[in-house]
Amino acid sequence: MKKIKVIGIIFFTLWLSACSYFAGEFKTPHVSLAGISPIALGLFEQRFKLKLRVQNPNDAALSIKGIQYFLDVEGRKFAHGVSDQEISIPEFGEQVISLPVSSNLSVLLPLLKKARHEKLNYELTGDIQLANQIMKLPFSYKGKFDLKL
């Protein structure tokens, strides 16, 4: 009976160690908008290319399996997208990645008028899916930009 308890304690300890290893102690990467440019402007859908700067504040490389992102401009849902682009960012490094987003004309038109006179407030949010991990790292960043088409 004592052997079963000892074996149980050993397995439990190993299980906890494995969980902490696989979950990792990752700090959330800093994700900011580095640029936006039009790809295709149609009547029903507009496509843009977002350039995101991803900075890794961790002392280990981040292997990113995918990313989901949302861009709100002036408090309105402007664009969204997903990418399965695999990226590896070195420890304490950064990388600019280009990602497609979709928007619609009903959101874009009011912003174009305002963009002629001032910078636009934006909020970039989303989740980063790490490779070989079940955890997602959320991100959120606010700033201002010029929308020049």
| pLDDT tops 90 at residue 36 | no
pLDDT digits (tens, 9 = 90+) for 107-142: 777 777 777 778 888 999 999 998 887 878 899 999
Domain 26-144 has CATH 2.60.40.1820: yes
What's the pLDDT score for residue 45? 83
Contacts of 99 (CB under 8 A, 6+ apart): 49, 50, 51, 52, 67, 69, 81, 83, 85
Q: How confident is the model at residue 104 (pLDDT cuts 50, 70, 90)?
A: confident
Q: How far apart are CA 48 and CA 4, in angstroms?
A: 61
* pTM score over 0.75: no
Tokens of 143: 């700033």
Q: How high does pLDDT run on average in the chain?
A: 81
The domains of the chain are located at 26-144
Q: How far apart are CA 60 and CA 86, in angstroms?
A: 16
